Amino acid sequence: MSETISDEIDLIELVEVIWDGKWQIIGITAIFALLAIVFVLMNNQSYDGQLRISKLDRSQIAAFAPLNDTPGISKPIYSNVTLIGQEGVILSADLFKVVQEEFSLGEILIDAHQALDPRIQGFEGDAAAKRDELLKIASDYKFALKKGSETEGFLEFATPDKALSGRILQHAVAALNDRIRTKNLRALTDLKASISTGLRYEIEETQVAIENVVADYQIRTKARLANLKEQAAIARQLSIAGNQSALGAREGGGIGINVNSDLPLYLRGYKALETEAKLIEARGDDVLIYIDKYPDLAAKLQRLESDKRLQRIDTGIALTPLADPEAFRAANVNVETIVYQPSSSRALVVIMATLLGGIIATLIILFRHFIGQRRIAA
């Protein structure tokens, strides 16, 4: 019972001590609150920014149809043996992936900070230190995909200056679009070079094939003429005017044809042999129609020489946003839609500092009272 009374007396005494030191507590608390206010006013508010980035939609990617839907440029898609479409050359998913890679690499962000950030423009360290600072700044930007999506994400960053961060990101997005546009133009230039090289090789190969079949025909024809003339001369010497095999057949009321290649050619008679030789010589220079392989080779050469893929690429580029740096967009990125949220509440900082000041002030009053009591007891 006595311990309870003692505790009550001690508690009342503490309350009285605190009450007696209320003005000191209020003063110390006010100093902490004032210091907190000065601190938050002297230090700029920091914000967490989030920029939404998504792939181009169907209507936007349709602007690249002159390239994406052109046979010979875009790879075909077949269902069994039926052509059902083209794969496309400029695809929204591919563009979005490159956007993600470029932001993750950070070079466009470094360039933007070098161009616009006063901290970098007024940096007093050496080149290595400046580069380290730029790398640190770039590492503060994080590209994160939206949960469950491969074609939508957010660029997250912290900044004390919303206006400056907007200008920096606007600069970075413009550089990003220009860089990706240039990459695609370079890829199409490479595609043109590949097509041109392939066409040149196929045309040369086909021309050589035509030259070979013509030369082969000419050699065979000369040999045939020489043989015909020689065999006709033999037939004349032997007084064989007509086909000897046919004579036997006519006597039997049938038609005789000398089809046995093992028989000497002069047995056909000099009339037939000389006639065939004259007809061959009468062909003149227009002999290509007599070459079996020539029509197919000539048709192939015509197709190759009239190939329009290179012109289609140039036309396709001219009809798409690739031709206009101002119109080209690799993804949907609108800097005006950046969402900013304060990194910390200024009011919360002041409140927490005020509470801390009150607690410290109370502890000081109580500690001073405790020391005084011990001195009196001593």
Query: Average pLDDT, stretch 322-350?
Result: 85
| 192-205 residues labelled b (16+ CB within 10 A) or e (exposed) | beebeeeeeebeee
% pLDDT > 90, the chain: 50
pLDDT of residue 17 exceeding 80, the answer is no
Task: Give the per-residue pLDDT at 21.
Answer: 77
Long-range Cβ contact pairs of 209-216 (< 8 A, separation 24 or more): 209/293, 209/297, 210/294, 210/297, 210/298, 210/301, 213/291, 213/293, 213/294, 213/297, 214/287, 214/288, 214/291, 214/294
Asked if residue 341 lies in contact with residue 48, where contact means CB atoms within 8 angstroms, the answer is yes
3-state secondary structure string across 298-347: HHHHHHHHCCCHHHHHHHHHHCCHHHCCCCCCCCEECHHHCEEEECCCHH
Task: Give the per-residue pLDDT at 33.
Answer: 80
% pLDDT > 70, the chain: 85
The full set of domain ranges for the chain reads 1-45+344-378, 202-309
Task: Give the per-residue pLDDT at 9.
Answer: 45
Which pLDDT tens digit goes with each residue over 152-188?
A: 999 999 988 899 999 999 999 999 999 999 999 999 9
Query: Average pLDDT, stretch 70-87?
Result: 69
Residue 71 DSSP code: B
Tokens at residue 87, please?
């794969």
Task: Give the per-residue pLDDT at 135.
Answer: 93
Q: Give the residue, 259 or 314, on which the prediction is more confident.
A: 314
What is the Cα–Cα distance from 227 to 265, expressed in whole angstroms? 9
Query: Average pLDDT, stretch 128-148?
Result: 92
Query: Average pLDDT, stretch 35-56?
Result: 82
Task: Give the per-residue pLDDT at 29.
Answer: 84
69 SS3 class: coil
Which residues are 340's β-sheet partners?
49
pLDDT band at 138 (very low <50, low <70, confident <90, very high): very high
Give the closest residue to 33 by CA, choosing from 45, 21, 43, 25: 25
Which pLDDT tens digit goes with each residue over 180-201?
A: 999 999 999 998 999 999 999 9
Residue 269 φ/ψ region, left for φ over 0, alpha for ψ in the -120 to 50 degree band, beta for the rest: left
Which pLDDT tens digit goes with each residue over 336-346?
A: 999 998 876 56
Which pLDDT tens digit goes with each residue over 54-78?
A: 999 999 999 999 998 888 787 766 6
pLDDT band at 81 (very low <50, low <70, confident <90, very high): low
Tokens at residue 3, please?
């311990």
Of the given ranges (18-27, 29-38, 71-80), which has the lowest mean pLDDT?
71-80
Asked if residue 46 lies in contact with residue 375, where contact means CB atoms within 8 angstroms, the answer is no
Give the closest residue to 141 by CA, choosing from 161, 159, 155, 120: 155
